[in-house]
Structure 1
Amino acid sequence: MLNKILLATAALQAHVLAQSCPSLTAQYPAPSVASDYEARLVAQNLDKPRGLIFDNNNNLLVVEREVGVTAFKVEGAGSCVTLKDKKTVVSDGTLNHGIELSEDGKTLYASSRESVLKYNYDSTKLSVSDNGQVIVKGMTTDGQVTRTLLLSRKSKNTLLVSRGSDENIDLSTVDVNSGQSQIRIFDPSKNDISYTTGTTLGWGLRNAVGLAENPTDGGIWSAENNADNIERDGFSIHENNPAEELNYHGKLEDAKNSLLDANYGYPLCYGAWNISEISSAGQLQIGDQFAIAEENATRQDAFCNDARQKPRLVFQPHTSPIDIKFDTKGENLYVSLRGSWNRNDPVGYSVSVISFSANGEPTKPSSSTTALTPIFSNSNTTACPGNCFRPAGLAWDRNGRLYVSSDATGEIYVITKSGGDALDATRPKASAASKSPVSGVVGVVVAALAMAFAYLL
């Protein structure tokens, strides 16, 4: 009798959980998830969602292109998440990617191709009280239009703004005064600052869309999207070169930071991925920089490796890293790879992770081709980029769950460990108010089980 009751109760609990957990279905082959992980589609029909961030009340803020900044209330436990009560916080269709919040949660930052703006934000009302003040201006280009924002938690009152090139290979960026292909440092308490007056953290960065600060040591990292249609000595090496790059920029609080104002090579130098396809490669190794000058390219390779800052890691060309986020201990760096658009064999289209050691460095050497471990990716990329998941923004909630936007499909997913356990277990726990609606139903099941035991006794 007892076994029958236990089996019946277990079956009832599983049925209740399956019926109660919200379920959305993608209109393309479902992405695959690595073992020990779960992923669930939690929002659809958004307008090209890019940057994500959680406010101090655990509401999710989303930059939707051609809309502005929208907000969702988040309910649920584990991977059983519901995004509800969508509300437009900032109605401005020019906002297209970057988003940040002050540590006290009262100032919201967002970016367009021209400007960085700040707003007085109320997380209880999910609203702003003004039309926004321009902090940084003068960034309009026709090429790369995203302006990634990073508000340092280690160096107070410090805002980083990443701006890409105006062309695929933009020769104007050999001049630091162009203000393009750079990361610059600003004081967010000031207004109406021209981008070119900011302090240069790094330049020679074609499009460093991903920006992150290691929470343990304050090290700044960027993920760079490299150039397309590259040639060397008149031969196309586009399919497997140049590499996408993970670059290190030192610590903002370090007065002796030797990487301040460092040049990372673009548009003259590029990271090597497939050495066999680079003509006259000589002694080049994976992760080294090579030149693409029309004459004497090999003679310039030494310049690229001696006078330019090499990447700390390289990724497969055309994978297009968009966002990077550390976990609380700085042990893992999560990367969204939006994927290729002009490669014969599509690559990318995944959320992957890079392992970091206690000294704030990746565990893999700079010559590694296996630094990225996919945890959530398209099971079949043959339909990409037209009919597949294309990850963009990443954000942690206070429960240690990782959210990822897919701009091309207008969706948001949540990623957890198996069983709905936190991906980042060291984050502060949510308040009791955020319990899943499923938990109450499970409580009824548990109560039924208790009654059954009482009856038997």
Structure 2
Amino acid sequence: MWLIRIASIAAALFITVGGFTIPQSCPGIPSPHYPFELAKDWKAAKVADGLHSPRGLALDGEGRLLIVEEGMGISQHTVDTNGCITSSRVLISMPALNHGIYMGSDGGALYASSAATVFRWTYDPKSGNTSGSPVTIITGMANEDHVSRTLIIPPTRPDLLVVSRGSNSNLDYATINPATARSIVKVFDIMKVPNGGYDYAKDGWNAGYGLRNDVGLAFDGNNMLWSVENSADQLMREVNGVTTDIHMDNPAEKLNFLGDIATPNNAWYGYPACFAVWRPDPAIVDGTTMHEVGVGQQFALAPNNTFNDTTCASLARPPRLVFEAHTAPLDAKFDMPRYENMFVTFHGSWDRNPPVGYKLVAVPFTRITQGGYEPVAPANSNAGYFDIFYPPDEGKCSSSTCARPVGLVFDTVGRLYMTSDTSGEVFMLGRSG
């Protein structure tokens, strides 16, 4: 049922979806730049066009959409009962803002980030205005590479802010030491911010490290943190002096379980020494090589007598699920309050031919007997998710031929908004039944 694909535009003028309506189109909004298709029973409408690289999304207490437009700042958008945008304005003009945004739990504080700094504004949810100058919350996050910082506040701990920071390069070997404070997710007490803000490297505590670039963060219904990780590009594997190019289908992107962030998590998730398998490579046949390592298990790039795949299995915390190599997951949101699916945006590949990604997928989750949540699929599955919004032929996609999904946010009635940065669009999606 989930895998049946249908056309993207419904014939009826309005489609009732889960108690709300998804219009066929929104007034004054041009047609989508690129064709897309949808999973069975899903509907979508484009709600915004012409934005400046829209990335992260948030929702205020009055239902306004707040969008980080990379290189511009934060725009604010009012919506009508059908979810269409009726007016827009620039709320914060700050070109350094590039991705991260989150609304404080009481609606009175707005957090956003540049590559180097997290800021907080006083926010009036009634008027939608900010007041005063921004307060610096965290500094010291500048990178040469992987500049997106994701921000999230636990629903049961409004005093804590979680911030991710990626690696400084494709293979940032220094991050084997968590003190570098790269390839890591950290937690900060936002009720005790020192003058001038926290130093990202010196302050806060770890929610996991060895995470190459965990852009998407989401809390499940048990208040446990999950992340989606962009893994490495251009990998070569050397076994017994023989080097093989494995980058086409490996390494896998990861879905990681980080757990309870109220206490430090000093677990190492493998980067930069261990990587997860998406497709075992039959070109490598040595007994200690990836040919013997299954989907979702971790492997070493150059196994030897002192550090090999067995070492990775014993020292590195494995992913709970894997995604196809180079799909580039960028955001993750659960469908509250049921937490039956985690929705993940795939920004799309540059390091693979034919390309993959350029779509929105859903990872089915289930409630386990201990009260927690986990994906339905086992960890060794490479079929643990299904397409929701996707191009007709992702193998022909590029940044100029397909939407590139980035940010996600659900509104209070269950509509899912999604940005596409390179096309400057925002879409609204919903499912019937």
With the shorter chain as reference, the TM-score category is: 0.7 to 0.9
Question: In structure 2, how many angstroms separate the alpha carbons of the residues matched to 1:120 and 1:230?
Answer: 45
Whole-angstrom distance in 2 between the partners of 1:365 and 1:12: 39
- 1:77-96 deviations in Å (ceiling 9; x for gaps): 3xxx3212211111100010
Q: 1:374 to 1:12 in 2, by over 3 A?
A: closer
Q: 1:272·1:288 contact (CA, 8 Å) conserved in 2? A: yes
- Report the equivalent of 1:387: 401
Quick check: 1:243 aligned with 2:252? yes
Separation in 2, partners of 1:136, 1:18 = 41
Equivalent position of 1:199 in the other structure: 205
- Please give the TM-score of this superposition, normalised by the length of structure 1: 0.83
Match of 2:311 among 303, 307, 312: 303
Aligned residue in 2 for 1:448: none
Query: 2:421: which partner in 1?
Result: 407
Deviations, residues 232-284 of structure 1 (Å, cap 9, x unaligned): 0121100000000000011234x5x8xx1111000000001111256232531
Matched, 1:372 2:385: yes
Instruction: Give yes or no for the alignment of 1:31 onto 2:32.
Output: no
Q: Does 1:50 align with 2:58?
A: no
Percent of aligned positions that are identical: 37
Give the secondary-structure state (helix, strand or coil) at the position aligned to 2:407: strand
C-alpha displacement of 1:371: 0.9
Matches of 1:241 and 1:262 in 2, distance apart? 23
The letter of the residue matching 1:415 is L
Q: Is the 8 A contact 1:324 1:335 kept in 2?
A: yes
Q: Is the 8 A contact 1:291 1:304 kept in 2?
A: yes
CA drift of 1:299 comes to 5.0
The secondary structure found in structure 2 opposite 1:304 is helix
Q: Is the 8 A contact 1:340 1:385 kept in 2?
A: no
Deviations 1:371-393 (A, max 9, x none): 11111111123142322100000
Structure 2 counterpart SS, 1:371:
coil
Deviation string for 1:168-190 (max 9, x for gaps)? 00011111110100000101121
Partner of 2:352: 343
SS of the residue 2:34 aligns to: coil
In the other structure, the counterpart of 2:18 is: none
Q: CA RMSD in A?
A: 2.1
Paired with 1:198 and 1:71, the residues of 2 have a C-alpha distance of: 31
Structure 1 position 261 matched with structure 2 position 266: yes
SS at match of 1:275: coil
Residue 103 to residue 345, structure 1, CA distance change in 2 (3 Å): same
Q: Are residues 1:290 and 2:296 paired? A: no
Aligned equivalents of 1:340 and 1:18: distance in 2?
31
Report the equivalent of 2:343.
334
Q: How many residue pairs get matched?
A: 398
| TM-score, normalization by structure 2 | 0.88
Report if the CA contact (8 A) 1:87-1:126 is conserved. Answer: no
Which residue number in structure 2 is paired with residue 440 of structure 1? none
1:170 aligns with 2:198: no
Partner residue of 1:432?
none
1:209–1:285 CA distance, 2 compared to 1 (3 A): same
Q: Which secondary structure state, in structure 2, belongs to the residue aligned with residue 104 of structure 1?
A: coil
Which residue of structure 2 aligns with residue 3 of structure 1? none
Structure 2 residue ranges without an equivalent (≥5): 1-10, 15-21
Whose helix fraction is larger, Structure 1's or Structure 2's?
A: 1
Cα distance change, pair 303–55 in 1 and its aligned pair in 2 (3 A): same
Contact 1:90 1:127 in 2 (8 A): no
Aligned partners of 2:99 and 2:150 also within 8 Å:
yes
Structure 2 residue identity aligned to 1:194: D
8 Å contact 2:105–2:158 — kept in the other structure? no
SS at match of 1:303: helix
Residue in structure 1 matching 2:134, options 132, 135, 138: 132
CA contact (8 A) 1:281 1:298 kept: no
Between structures 1 and 2, the one with greater strand share: 2
Is contact 1:341–1:385 with CA below 8 Å preserved after alignment? no
Give the number of the structure whose alpha-carbon radius of gyration is greater.
1
Letter of the 1:131 partner, please give it: S
**In 1: Cα distance, 2:128 partner to 2:32 partner:** 31
Write out aligned runs for 1:71-220 (5 A): 71-77=76-82, 81-189=83-191, 190-191=193-194, 192-196=197-201, 197-214=203-220, 216-220=221-225
Counterpart secondary structure, 2:233: coil
Query: Distance between the aligned counterparts of 1:183 and 1:232, measured in 2?
Result: 28
CA distance in 2, matches of 1:132, 1:143: 26
The amino acid that maps onto 1:348 is: G
Task: Structure 1: give runs of 5+ residues left out of the alignment.
Answer: 1-10, 422-457
Q: 1:18 to 1:66 in 2, by over 3 A?
A: closer
